């Protein structure tokens, strides 16, 4: 499965990030649609403080950190 084809336009400041993610996750099984209400961050959940109201208004019900 190709997540991001080479011809896909990149919308990132670092033009290689999408292809790196694709390469690193190429053998992963992915769900058909994202899980409802789940937000994953690479930082500390406690650092999200002022963003929490906006996240909750978007339907986020579960927040976790990697």
Residue 23 sits in the same domain as residue 39: no
Domains held by the chain: number: 2
- Judgement on whether residues 40 and 57 belong to the same structural domain of the protein: yes
What are the tens digits of pLDDT across the range 5-57?
A: 666 555 555 557 777 888 888 888 888 887 889 998 888 999 999 999 999 99
Same domain, yes or no: 40 and 61? yes
pLDDT score recorded for residue 21: 81
The predicted pLDDT at position 10 comes to 52
Question: What whole-number distance in Å separates Cα of residue 11 and Cα of residue 14?
Answer: 9
Q: d(Cα 18, Cα 58) in Å, to the nearest integer?
A: 25
Domain that residue 42 falls in: 33-65
25 and 40 assigned to the same domain:
no
pLDDT at 50: 92
* DSSP β-ladder status, 62-65 and 38-41: parallel
pLDDT at residue 48, as a whole number:
92
Q: Which tokens is 57 given?
A: 């208004």
Same domain, 13 and 38: no
């Amino acid at each position: 499965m190709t997540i991001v084809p080479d011809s896909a336009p990149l919308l990132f400041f670092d033009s290689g990030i999408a292809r790196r993610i694709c390469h690193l996750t190429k053998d992963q099984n992915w769900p058909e649609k994202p899980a409802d209400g789940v937000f994953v961050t690479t930082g500390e959940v406690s650092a999200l403080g002022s963003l929490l109201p906006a996240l909750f208004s978007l339907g986020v019900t579960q927040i976790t950190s990697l």
